Protein backbone atom coordinates (compact mmCIF):
# COMPACT_ATOMS: atom_id res chain seq x y z
CA UNK A 1 0.00 0.00 0.00
CA UNK A 2 1.10 3.56 -0.61
CA UNK A 3 0.32 4.48 3.02
CA UNK A 4 0.81 2.49 6.19
CA UNK A 5 -2.49 1.40 7.65
CA UNK A 6 -2.21 -0.75 10.74
CA UNK A 7 -4.60 -3.69 10.56
CA UNK A 8 -3.60 -5.01 13.97
CA UNK A 9 -6.79 -5.92 15.88
CA UNK A 10 -8.85 -4.93 12.82
CA UNK A 11 -9.15 -8.20 10.93
CA UNK A 12 -11.52 -9.71 13.47
CA UNK A 13 -13.97 -6.79 13.21
CA UNK A 14 -15.78 -8.39 10.31
CA UNK A 15 -15.94 -11.71 8.54
CA UNK A 16 -15.24 -13.07 5.97
CA UNK A 17 -13.61 -9.82 4.84
CA UNK A 18 -12.21 -6.63 6.34
CA UNK A 19 -14.45 -3.92 7.81
CA UNK A 20 -16.13 -1.45 5.49
CA UNK A 21 -13.94 1.47 6.57
CA UNK A 22 -10.79 -0.62 6.05
CA UNK A 23 -12.06 -1.53 2.59
CA UNK A 24 -12.71 2.17 1.91
CA UNK A 25 -9.22 3.07 3.17
CA UNK A 26 -7.62 0.36 1.04
CA UNK A 27 -8.95 2.22 -2.01
CA UNK A 28 -8.53 5.80 -0.79
CA UNK A 29 -4.82 5.29 -0.10
CA UNK A 30 -4.02 4.41 -3.73
CA UNK A 31 -1.81 7.05 -5.39
CA UNK A 32 -2.56 5.95 -8.95
CA UNK A 33 -6.21 5.17 -8.47
CA UNK A 34 -7.93 3.51 -11.42
CA UNK A 35 -11.47 3.73 -12.73
CA UNK A 36 -12.12 0.26 -11.28
CA UNK A 37 -11.04 1.48 -7.82
CA UNK A 38 -13.29 4.51 -8.15
CA UNK A 39 -16.24 2.31 -9.17
CA UNK A 40 -15.54 0.12 -6.12
CA UNK A 41 -15.71 3.24 -3.93
CA UNK A 42 -18.94 4.36 -5.58
CA UNK A 43 -20.55 0.97 -4.98
CA UNK A 44 -19.34 0.95 -1.37
CA UNK A 45 -20.89 4.38 -0.78
CA UNK A 46 -24.14 3.46 -2.54
CA UNK A 47 -24.56 0.24 -0.57
CA UNK A 48 -23.49 1.39 2.91
CA UNK A 49 -24.27 4.34 5.12
CA UNK A 50 -21.73 6.28 7.13
CA UNK A 51 -21.74 5.79 10.88
CA UNK A 52 -19.99 4.12 13.78
CA UNK A 53 -20.52 1.10 15.98
CA UNK A 54 -22.31 -0.90 13.30
CA UNK A 55 -20.51 -3.38 11.05
CA UNK A 56 -22.90 -2.50 8.21
CA UNK A 57 -21.83 1.16 8.27
CA UNK A 58 -18.60 2.87 7.24
CA UNK A 59 -16.91 3.98 10.47
CA UNK A 60 -16.20 7.66 9.82
CA UNK A 61 -14.75 8.08 13.32
CA UNK A 62 -11.99 5.59 12.55
CA UNK A 63 -11.27 7.25 9.21
CA UNK A 64 -10.92 10.68 10.81
CA UNK A 65 -8.67 9.29 13.57
CA UNK A 66 -6.25 8.12 10.88
CA UNK A 67 -6.39 11.22 8.69
CA UNK A 68 -6.01 13.67 11.58
CA UNK A 69 -2.54 12.28 12.34
CA UNK A 70 -1.23 11.33 8.89
CA UNK A 71 -1.07 14.25 6.45
CA UNK A 72 -0.01 11.99 3.58
CA UNK A 73 -3.01 9.69 3.98
CA UNK A 74 -5.24 12.75 4.42
CA UNK A 75 -3.88 14.31 1.22
CA UNK A 76 -4.17 11.16 -0.91
CA UNK A 77 -7.63 10.33 0.45
CA UNK A 78 -8.82 13.89 -0.22
CA UNK A 79 -7.59 13.78 -3.81
CA UNK A 80 -9.26 10.42 -4.36
CA UNK A 81 -12.54 11.49 -2.77
CA UNK A 82 -12.61 14.42 -5.19
CA UNK A 83 -11.96 12.01 -8.09
CA UNK A 84 -14.91 9.91 -6.91
CA UNK A 85 -17.08 13.05 -6.85
CA UNK A 86 -16.09 13.98 -10.40
CA UNK A 87 -16.62 10.42 -11.63
CA UNK A 88 -20.01 10.11 -9.89
CA UNK A 89 -21.36 13.23 -11.58
CA UNK A 90 -20.73 11.58 -14.95
CA UNK A 91 -21.65 8.02 -13.97
CA UNK A 92 -25.32 8.16 -14.93
CA UNK A 93 -25.74 4.39 -15.05
CA UNK A 94 -26.14 4.28 -11.25
CA UNK A 95 -29.16 6.60 -11.40
CA UNK A 96 -29.85 10.02 -9.98
CA UNK A 97 -30.79 8.79 -6.49
CA UNK A 98 -27.55 6.84 -6.11
CA UNK A 99 -25.54 9.75 -7.50
CA UNK A 100 -27.10 12.01 -4.88
CA UNK A 101 -26.41 9.48 -2.13
CA UNK A 102 -22.74 9.20 -3.10
CA UNK A 103 -22.32 12.98 -3.29
CA UNK A 104 -23.99 13.36 0.11
CA UNK A 105 -21.64 10.73 1.59
CA UNK A 106 -18.65 12.48 0.02
CA UNK A 107 -19.78 15.82 1.42
CA UNK A 108 -20.05 14.27 4.87
CA UNK A 109 -16.66 12.58 4.60
CA UNK A 110 -14.97 15.80 3.45
CA UNK A 111 -16.64 17.82 6.19
CA UNK A 112 -15.79 15.34 8.96
CA UNK A 113 -12.18 14.97 7.79
CA UNK A 114 -11.72 18.74 7.60
CA UNK A 115 -13.45 19.50 10.90
CA UNK A 116 -11.44 16.98 12.90
CA UNK A 117 -8.65 18.78 14.77
CA UNK A 118 -5.25 17.77 13.40
CA UNK A 119 -2.27 16.65 15.45
CA UNK A 120 1.00 18.52 15.71
CA UNK A 121 2.57 15.78 13.60
CA UNK A 122 -0.02 16.39 10.85
CA UNK A 123 0.43 20.17 10.98
CA UNK A 124 4.22 19.88 10.81
CA UNK A 125 4.05 17.54 7.80
CA UNK A 126 1.44 19.73 6.10
CA UNK A 127 3.91 22.63 6.04
CA UNK A 128 6.21 20.52 3.85
CA UNK A 129 3.33 19.50 1.59
CA UNK A 130 4.09 17.80 -1.70
CA UNK A 131 7.65 19.09 -1.88
CA UNK A 132 8.58 15.83 -0.13
CA UNK A 133 7.09 12.50 -1.18
CA UNK A 134 4.19 11.65 1.11
CA UNK A 135 3.65 8.04 0.03
CA UNK A 136 5.51 4.79 -0.45
CA UNK A 137 6.17 3.55 -3.96
CA UNK A 138 4.21 0.40 -4.61
CA UNK A 139 6.15 -2.05 -6.70
CA UNK A 140 5.61 -5.55 -7.87
CA UNK A 141 5.69 -8.17 -5.16
CA UNK A 142 8.43 -10.70 -5.72
CA UNK A 143 8.09 -14.09 -4.09
Across the chain, which has 143 residues, the per-10-residue mean pLDDT values are: 68 67 92 94 95 87 94 96 94 89 96 97 96 81 40
- Whether 45 and 87 have beta carbons less than 8 Å apart is answered as no
Q: What is the pLDDT of residue 14?
A: 60
Q: Specify the pTM.
A: 0.84
Q: What is the pLDDT of residue 44?
A: 95
- Whether 56 and 70 have beta carbons less than 8 Å apart is answered as no
Cβ neighbours of residue 29 closer than 8 Å, sequence gap 6 or more: 1, 2, 3, 5, 73, 76, 77
The helix/strand/coil state of 142 is: coil
What is the signed CA dihedral for 49, 57, 4, 31, rounded to 10 degrees? Answer: -20
Q: What is the pLDDT of residue 97?
A: 94
Q: What is the pLDDT of residue 16?
A: 57
Q: What is the pLDDT of residue 34?
A: 94
Amino acid sequence: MAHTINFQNRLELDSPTISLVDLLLSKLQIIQITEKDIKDLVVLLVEHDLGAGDRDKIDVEYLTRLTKDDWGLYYTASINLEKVRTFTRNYEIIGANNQQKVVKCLDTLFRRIEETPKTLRWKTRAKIGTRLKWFEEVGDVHR
